[in-house]
């Protein structure tokens, strides 16, 4: 399932990747870290 959703960096050649959720997850964590560092989390 992780391969299909693009959560793994390496996708086996026999798997079709239907999404790139790894990039979405990385972006969400980056936004969270920025808000915590800025002091705007959890009041944003």
Instruction: Assess whether pLDDT exceeds 80 at residue 5.
Output: yes
The answer, yes or no, to whether residue 12 has pLDDT greater than 80, is: yes
Cβ–Cβ under 8 Å, residues 22 and 3? no
Provide the domain limits for residue 11.
2-38
Nearest to 15 by CA among 7, 27, 23: 7
**Residue 44's pLDDT is what?**
60
Give the residue with greater pLDDT, 44 vs 17.
Answer: 17
Within a domain: residue 33?
yes
19 vs 44, more confident: 19
Contact at 8 Å (CB) between 18 and 4? yes
Q: Which two tokens stand for residue 17?
A: 């990747």
* Residue 43 forms part of a structural domain: no
The structural domain count of the chain equals 1
| Confidence (pLDDT) at 9 | 84
pLDDT confidence of residue 11 = 87
Residue 10 lies in a domain: yes
Q: Kindly state whether residue 26 falls inside one of the protein's structural domains.
A: yes
């Amino acid at each position: 399932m992780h391969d299909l959703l693009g959560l793994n960096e390496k996708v086996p050649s026999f798997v079709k990747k239907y999404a790139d959720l790894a990039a979405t997850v990385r972006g969400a964590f980056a936004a969270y870290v920025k808000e915590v560092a800025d002091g705007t989390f959890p009041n944003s």
